[in-house]
């Protein structure tokens, strides 16, 4: 039959890129396209003991329904971790566990966005945040951004010009897709300006713990004086994404709204995962584990950059991320990264063309390279193959 979908579905369509990238699932392709952690670092042996111990001690509760808010000891751990690492002052009651931080983005749309509202975001920004927000009928304004973050003067100008501005979405640490980070001064300006304009800031921070060098910076929430900064986090990058456990932190009043909405959305996060993560945190040293991840990704980042430095042709520039999972490559303007991808797939190597990360289009001469998932050998070989294609196109 002819289905009458909701109007919001008009903007939802399978991307060409996604279809192309399905090809990268084949094992002979070296893929830098996903945002996947290295499975070599999953604590599989530890998790055997952890799983048994949870079933032994909490079989009846870990397999049962739990509260929408989430397992209290885990919320307490998250609050303490944020307070210690990021200088915030959240309590367990100000944390809602979510089905990955992706769900926290979606719930933010549900709680805050009406049709026609404006979301300010970095240019480029995280693709799946765009997909989530877009379903609530918002418009995106891409903020001029340099190596230190959004530019305060532009932010003020746009907030003055956009009365429907409702939300500023930002990833200030090792951003997806660029790998760039904000300075502390820019975080402060952001919150000051957002506060003047009574706009909510959503600080998404999935990669902050994966810093290879330099100093960790406090959260934008440390500058919050009126309760307009909400913070997202996740266990996906410091533990395992397969559990789908993330969180949102914010003022109790706002979190209470999210809880009500999450209840109708999916009742609660999976209980098994919440218990296993908590047992792991209680019996293992997560800092040591994260240090292993950092060390591994640091080596991979170095190999990637060395190979790019050696082989990428003139006219191609790229970021030098101090952490996270991604580097961002800018080609000469006349090159289309989608065409480069097609040629790269023939060479059995894949990346994501950067155009999709710009909500309002353009910038087809950019590409995102993930360096966490591939092995060091694959990184060397894969980057060399991309370099070959680029040289061919710039010859």
Within positions 50 to 109, which residues make up the interface with a second copy, using CB under 8 A? 51-52, 55-56, 59-66, 99-100, 102-103, 106
Under rule CB under 8 A, residue 283 binds a second copy:
no
* Residues 200-219 interacting with a second copy (rule: CB under 8 A): 200
CB contact set of 327 (below 8 Å; sequence gap of 6+): 179, 301, 304, 305, 308, 318, 319, 320, 321, 368, 369, 371
CB of 194 or CB of 331, closer to a second copy: 194
Told to check if 313 binds a second copy by CB under 8 A, we report no
**Binding range to a second copy, per CB under 8 A, among 87-95, 110-118, 290-298, 301-309:** 110-118
Q: How far apart are CA 95 and CA 107, in angstroms?
A: 14
* Site membership for a second copy, residue 230 (CB under 8 A): no
Positions in 341-370 near a second copy (CB under 8 A): none
Continuous segment of H or E residues that includes residue 122: strand 118-122
Q: Which residue stretch of 80-88, 264-272, 286-294, 305-313 sits at the interface with a second copy (rule: CB under 8 A)? A: 264-272
What span, in angstroms and rounded, lies between the C-alpha atoms of 97 and 278? 13
Distance between CA 271 and CA 278 in Å, rounded?
A: 11
Torsion sign across C-alpha atoms 185, 186, 187, 193: positive
CB 371 within 8 A of CB 327: yes
Cβ count near 18 (within 10 Å): 12
In which element (H, E) is residue 234 found?
strand 229-234
Length in residues, the chain: 395
Residue number with CB closer to a second copy (45 or 314): 45
**Residue 154 binds to a second copy (criterion: CB under 8 A):** no
Closer residue to a second copy (CB): 239 or 312:
239
Give CA 227 to chain center in angstroms.
Answer: 23
Count residues binding a second copy (CB under 8 A): 80
198, with CB counted inside 10 A (0-12, 13-18, 19+), is exposed
Is residue 28 within the footprint of a second copy (CB under 8 A)?
Answer: no
Residue 129 Cβ vs a second copy, minimum distance, rounded to whole Å: 9
Identity of the residue, 83 or 131, whose beta carbon is nearer to a second copy in the bound complex: 131
Distance of alpha carbon 152 from the chain centroid: 23
User: Applying CB under 8 A, which part among 38-46, 284-292, 322-330, 355-363 lies near a second copy?
Assistant: 38-46
Q: Supply the minimum distance, in Å, between the C-beta of residue 345 and a second copy.
A: 19
Q: Is 240 in the site for a second copy (CB under 8 A)?
A: yes
Nearer to a second copy, 215 or 253 (CB): 253
Tokens representing 190 are: 């952001």
Task: State which residue, 56 or 213, has the beta carbon closest to a second copy.
Answer: 56
**By CB neighbour count within 10 A (0-12 exposed, 13-18 middle, 19+ buried), where does 136 fall?**
buried
x/- site string to a second copy, residues 243 to 262, per CB under 8 A? xx--------xx-xx--xx-
User: Phi, psi at residue 63, to the nearest 5°?
Assistant: -100, -5
Q: Is 273 in the site for a second copy (CB under 8 A)?
A: yes
- Least separation in angstroms between residue 323's CB and a second copy is 20
Residue 270 in the binding site for a second copy (CB under 8 A)? yes
Nearer to a second copy, 35 or 323 (CB): 35
**Backbone torsions φ then ψ of 88, nearest 5 degrees:** -85, 180
**Is 235 a residue that touches a second copy (CB under 8 A)?**
no
How does DSSP classify residue 26? S
Residue 125, interface with a second copy (CB under 8 A)? no
Chosen residue from 153, 161, 198, 283 binding a second copy by CB under 8 A = 198
CB nearer to a second copy: pick between 14 and 28: 14
């Amino acid at each position: 039959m002819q289905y009458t979908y909701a109007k919001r579905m008009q903007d939802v369509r399978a991307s060409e890129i996604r279809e192309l990238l399905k090809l990268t699932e084949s094992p002979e392709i070296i893929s830098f396209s996903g945002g996947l952690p290295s499975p070599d670092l999953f604590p599989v042996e530890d998790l055997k003991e952890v799983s048994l111990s949870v079933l032994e001690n909490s079989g009846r509760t870990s397999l049962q329904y739990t509260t929408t808010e989430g397992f209290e000891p885990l919320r307490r751990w998250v609050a303490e971790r944020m307070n210690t690492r990021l200088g915030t002052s959240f309590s367990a009651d100000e944390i809602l566990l979510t089905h990955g931080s992706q769900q926290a983005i979606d719930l933010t749309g549900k709680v805050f966005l009406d049709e026609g509202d404006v979301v300010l975001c970095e240019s480029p920004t995280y693709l799946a945040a765009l997909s989530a927000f877009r379903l609530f009928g918002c418009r995106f304004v891409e903020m001029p951004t340099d190596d230190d973050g959004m530019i305060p003067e532009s932010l003020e100008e746009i907030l003055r010009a956009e009365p429907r501005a409702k939300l500023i979405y930002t990833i200030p640490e090792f951003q997806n897709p660029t790998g760039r980070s904000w300075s502390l001064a820019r975080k402060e300006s952001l919150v000051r300006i957002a506060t003047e304009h009574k706009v909510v800031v959503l600080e998404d921070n999935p990669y902050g713990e994966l810093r290879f060098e330099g100093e960790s910076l406090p959260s934008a929430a440390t500058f919050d004086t009126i309760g307009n900064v909400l913070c997202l986090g996740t266990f996906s990058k410091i533990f395992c994404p397969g559990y789908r456990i993330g969180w949102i932190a914010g003022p109790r009043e706002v979190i209470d709204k999210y809880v009500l909405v999450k209840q109708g959305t999916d009742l609660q996060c999976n209980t098994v995962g919440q218990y296993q993560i908590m047992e792991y945190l209680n019996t293992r040293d997560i800092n040591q584990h994260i240090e292993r991840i950092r060390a591994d990704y640091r080596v991979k980042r170095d190999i990637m950059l060395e190979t790019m430095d050696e082989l990428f042709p003139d006219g191609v520039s790229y970021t030098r991320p101090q952490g996270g999972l991604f580097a961002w490559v800018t080609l000469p303007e006349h090159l289309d990264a989608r065409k480069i991808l097609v040629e790269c797939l023939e060479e059995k190597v894949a990346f994501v063309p950067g155009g999709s990360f710009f909500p309002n289009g353009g910038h087809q001469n950019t590409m995102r390279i993930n360096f966490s998932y591939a092995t060091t050998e694959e990184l060397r070989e894969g980057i060399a193959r991309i370099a070959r294609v680029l040289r061919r196109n710039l010859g």
